[in-house]
Structure 1
Amino acid sequence: MNELRINGPRLWTSLMDLARIGATDKGGVKRLALTDLDRQGRDLVVQWGRDAGLAITVDRIGNVFMRREGSNPALAPVVTGSHIDTQPTGGKFDGNYGVLAGLEVIRTLNDHGIQTEAPIEVAFWTNEEGSRFVPVMMGSGVFCGAFSLETACAARDTEGKSVGEELARIGYAGEQTPGDHPIGAYFEAHIEQGPVLEDADKVIGVVPAVMGLSWYDCTVSGMEAHAGPTPMGLRRDALQVATTIMQEVVAIANRYPPYGRGTVGMVQVFPNSRNVIPGQVKFSIDLRNVNDALLNTMHEEITAFIDKTRQDSGLSIDLERVSYYPPCPFHPDCVDAVRAATATLGYSSMDVVSGAGHDAIYVARLAPAGMIFVPCKDGISHNEIEDAQPGHLEAGCNVLLHAMLARAGAPAGPEDAARTIRQPTQPEVVA
């Protein structure tokens, strides 16, 4: 069984075929959730699943599950997947790779006539990107109960169209209640979306955890005044005060290496005029860490700094935490399965903590979960020039194949591919 490998050229062809739906002039993909292009992408992947003999189930938030039966259908399935919706300036691989790698695992098992004891399923989750509807990771979030189906279906895009209406329009408002679909274990293959693997010249990233994050909206209110007649000491300059807070965001992150992150990504200056002292500045703050205690410390430090800045400057400063996701450690059995498969296959590897959110975060609340990373060129993602080497994608899919077989129960060698072995005992679920 250790000699088993996926068909790399077939995986690449599937990726390129799906990328034609919503293809952009710069070589990327724009296939926003629940648009007509998303429907076309869904229809294509579902048809490929049916061609591979898979049974299709769709739940009420539009999550799709494609099932290959095992010799013991009573066992909870070993599931893999990701998403096929993209950013407005998305690439060919973000999310799509995880779904089509799962499909390639199924095709490879079919090619070799291998039956697992537990069923194997490929899932793709609705609106992971959150670029048309919020919240992000919507389908997996509803599935695990992070927020309600009613809340998600009521979300509207900038044109006033709701998730519920669009699901019905494209034909993917299924009948199954989200969360009623059992999962025995979950693996997600993904491009890294960062530069670490490429910089270290490693093929496989073993993902032990995903960073937690705290998002804030900060508003500093001063007073607009003429830039010429107003002396420096008499100004109530909202921008100058805001920039001290922005610098502290970076300083806090640097105090907690190696996983401290601090970013100000959005800034709005009012009145935004060349010769007017800014009277109000609104900006975002993004703090991340893989350690929840450190993330809470970072939260306490930014709030304390703002309290002091408010007192020292005399300006009104409002800080609102708008999102919080705790760090997500993946199940050690799934992490070990990825690590063991990588070693068996002889690929170079390293541990990589994910700084981006993935559907696996929510699935991990319900079942043992793990992730597999492969490099992407220059660490670039959420960009039309996003790229990955076919050999790296093939390697990641091979690791996925063997990790899933370790969980699902598979023949011990090619000579006895017709028989199955017992599925490993399910460990206690950790979130």
Structure 2
Amino acid sequence: MDLSQPPLPRIDGARLWSRLMSMAEIGARTDGGVDRQALSAEDRAAMARLIGWGESIGLLPSFDTAGNLFLTLPGASEGATVLIGSHLDSQPTGGRFDGVFGVLAAFEVLETLHDRGIVPPRPITLVAWMNEEGGRFAPGMMGSEVFSGHRRLTQIGAVTDAAGVSVATELERLAEAFPGVPRIAPGFPLHAYIEPHIEQADHLEREALVIGAVTGIQGKKTYEVTLSGREAHAGTEPMERRVDAVQAFARVALAMQEAALQAGPDIRFTIGRVEVLPNAPSVVPATVRFRIDLRHPRNDVLDRTGLALEAAARAAAAPCIAEVQPMVDAPANTFSPALRRAILRSAAARGLPATELLSAAGHDARHMAPLAPSAMIFIPCRGGLSHHPEEWAEPAHVAAGAQVLLDTCLHAASATRDKGDLS
């Protein structure tokens, strides 16, 4: 689509910003951040607000049985839709932009088209994915994984939070909260997928750029490691007889770090969520359980390093026993070159400095890429800070991202896949 002949409609940046600040009231923290975890009462309240805004302009809401929320603007013809959006849930100490910017930028696109009386060539559907963050129910991206067939609904339903509440229970509560909203099966034909998001890094900010056309997402593996020793009295058990899980953890952590660093400077290795049992001051600990997050842009390096980490853990744990349980195996992916070009054309036409860049963080778009031509649009976030109450995006950048989304969305809706227009 020629972005200069005729001119495409402009979004309302002030309206979008107002909706972002309104949504930030739901789950607001005293430090300025947001706690709106997946399938919580706050998450349901955010969905209700979004549905209400959509109903005021005639958008058709629906949920799938995995808890993904959709708002659809009908097109001139039926068939595969252009899907746009992100997620509403946050980390427990999250900010006001991660995920929700993408959802509300998508809403602004639909509202702009509605206000201008523009009927797109095909349907355009907003999505708010269920549990992208994984803060309450791990691992994250549950909704997009079920939609794309990567996981079964029964698998995610059995997952529980720290209080023992299951995803299945919360999905039932979600259905009860919205009895009038239709339920559909996960997965339907997609013409294209576009997800706007804050960068969660500082490349755009450092280079004074406004728009990032994302080339792909680096691969990610996560593991849960359990080190099993033997509980004993801290005052009576001789040192030489101890099977101390914390001491084993210290050895294993160092060994895994050394193994990861062999992969070179692009590797990302993190140990998090460490649990010690029993967590008592005068007891030799019997169990340490922790999570590993491993990322790299190349799948071969990621696979090789994952095997090296498993071997390092088992070798360094003795006399404890190490059990390594894989949790997530998400290969690196690339996004549609044609959609990336459309993003860059839009940015140029709007006078917005732009570039292509890789996403180091994971996103639901990873799971859409095998289903349809997919893309991500990044805007800067201050200092690259995300998953934090001080997370911030400038109003002008928020508006710019939504504008490029609108331009790219209309290009995708008018493009023909069988002619390679979106490849």
| Band the TM-score falls in, shorter-chain normalisation | 0.7 to 0.9
Letter in 2 for 1:125: W
CA distance, structure 2, for counterparts of residue 159 and residue 282 of structure 1: 18
Q: Corresponding residue for 1:415?
A: none
- Tell whether 2:70 aligns with 1:70: no
- Tell whether 2:340 aligns with 1:335: yes
Aligned in 2, Cα 1:389/1:252: closer, same or farther, shift over 3 Å?
farther
- Tell whether 2:405 aligns with 1:400: yes
Residues 249 and 264, structure 1, Cα contact 8 Å, conserved in 2 = no
Q: Corresponding residue for 1:185?
A: 192
Residue 269 of structure 2 aligns to a residue whose secondary structure is strand
Q: Corresponding residue for 1:118?
A: 122
CA positional deviation for 1:9: 1.0
- Tell whether 2:243 aligns with 1:239: no
Q: Corresponding residue for 1:175?
A: 183
Q: Corresponding residue for 1:136?
A: 140
Residues 252 and 262, structure 1, Cα contact 8 Å, conserved in 2 = no
CA positional deviation for 1:271: 5.1
Residues 189 and 400, structure 1, Cα contact 8 Å, conserved in 2 = yes
5 Å-filtered alignment, 1:333-372, equals: 333-372=338-377
5 Å-filtered alignment, 1:222-301, equals: 222=229, 238-270=245-277, 280-301=287-308
Of 394-403 and 45-54, more deviation after overlay is shown by: 45-54
- Tell whether 2:221 aligns with 1:214: yes
Residues 314 and 321, structure 2, Cα contact 8 Å, conserved in 1 = no
CA distance, structure 2, for counterparts of residue 224 and residue 156 of structure 1: 27
Residues 130 and 137, structure 1, Cα contact 8 Å, conserved in 2 = yes
Of 355-364 and 127-136, more deviation after overlay is shown by: 127-136
Aligned in 2, Cα 1:53/1:259: closer, same or farther, shift over 3 Å?
farther
CA positional deviation for 1:270: 4.8
Of 184-193 and 17-26, more deviation after overlay is shown by: 17-26
Residues 118 and 423, structure 1, Cα contact 8 Å, conserved in 2 = no
CA distance, structure 2, for counterparts of residue 253 and residue 428 of structure 1: 40
Residues 58 and 65, structure 1, Cα contact 8 Å, conserved in 2 = yes
Per-residue deviation, residues 250-270 of structure 1 (Å, max 9, x unmatched): 334433345311011122345
CA positional deviation for 1:108: 2.5
Residue 184 of structure 1 aligns to a residue whose secondary structure is strand
Q: Corresponding residue for 2:211?
A: 204
- Tell whether 2:109 aligns with 1:105: yes
Aligned in 2, Cα 1:244/1:168: closer, same or farther, shift over 3 Å?
same
CA positional deviation for 1:190: 0.7
Structure 2 residues without counterparts, runs of 5 or longer: none
CA positional deviation for 1:64: 2.4
CA distance, structure 1, for counterparts of residue 367 and residue 134 of structure 2: 15
CA positional deviation for 1:223: 5.5
Aligned in 2, Cα 1:222/1:199: closer, same or farther, shift over 3 Å?
farther
CA distance, structure 2, for counterparts of residue 95 and residue 202 of structure 1: 20
CA positional deviation for 1:298: 0.5
From 55, 60, 72, the equivalent of 1:55 is 60
Number of aligned positions between the proteins: 414
Per-residue deviation, residues 116-138 of structure 1 (Å, max 9, x unmatched): 32222211122222333344222
Aligned in 2, Cα 1:176/1:428: closer, same or farther, shift over 3 Å?
farther
CA distance, structure 1, for counterparts of residue 106 and residue 11 of structure 2: 11
Structure 1 residues without counterparts, runs of 5 or longer: 410-421
Q: Corresponding residue for 2:330?
A: 325
Q: Corresponding residue for 1:10?
A: 15
Residue 98 of structure 2 aligns to a residue whose secondary structure is coil
Aligned in 2, Cα 1:85/1:251: closer, same or farther, shift over 3 Å?
same
What do you get for the CA RMSD once the two structures are aligned? 3.0
Residues 379 and 397, structure 2, Cα contact 8 Å, conserved in 1 = yes
CA distance, structure 1, for counterparts of residue 233 and residue 136 of structure 2: 40
Q: Corresponding residue for 2:85?
A: 81
Of 181-190 and 156-165, more deviation after overlay is shown by: 156-165
Of 284-293 and 32-41, more deviation after overlay is shown by: 32-41
CA distance, structure 1, for counterparts of residue 266 and residue 347 of structure 2: 24
Residue 283 of structure 1 aligns to a residue whose secondary structure is strand
Aligned in 2, Cα 1:32/1:267: closer, same or farther, shift over 3 Å?
closer
CA positional deviation for 1:314: 4.4
Residue 399 of structure 1 aligns to a residue whose secondary structure is helix
CA distance, structure 1, for counterparts of residue 143 and residue 355 of structure 2: 30
- The two structures have a TM-score, normalised by structure 2, of 0.86
CA positional deviation for 1:214: 1.6
CA distance, structure 1, for counterparts of residue 334 and residue 323 of structure 2: 32
Residues 202 and 384, structure 2, Cα contact 8 Å, conserved in 1 = yes
Q: Corresponding residue for 2:96?
A: 92
Residues 74 and 123, structure 2, Cα contact 8 Å, conserved in 1 = yes
Aligned-residue identity in percent? 40
CA positional deviation for 1:185: 0.1
Per-residue deviation, residues 338-375 of structure 1 (Å, max 9, x unmatched): 23323333322333322332221222232111111112
Residues 271 and 279, structure 1, Cα contact 8 Å, conserved in 2 = yes
CA positional deviation for 1:102: 0.8
Residue 265 of structure 1 aligns to a residue whose secondary structure is strand
Aligned in 2, Cα 1:256/1:394: closer, same or farther, shift over 3 Å?
farther
5 Å-filtered alignment, 1:14-29, equals: 14-29=19-34
CA positional deviation for 1:240: 4.0
- The two structures have a TM-score, normalised by structure 1, of 0.85
Residues 99 and 197, structure 2, Cα contact 8 Å, conserved in 1 = yes
Letter in 1 for 2:12: N
- Tell whether 2:177 aligns with 1:166: no
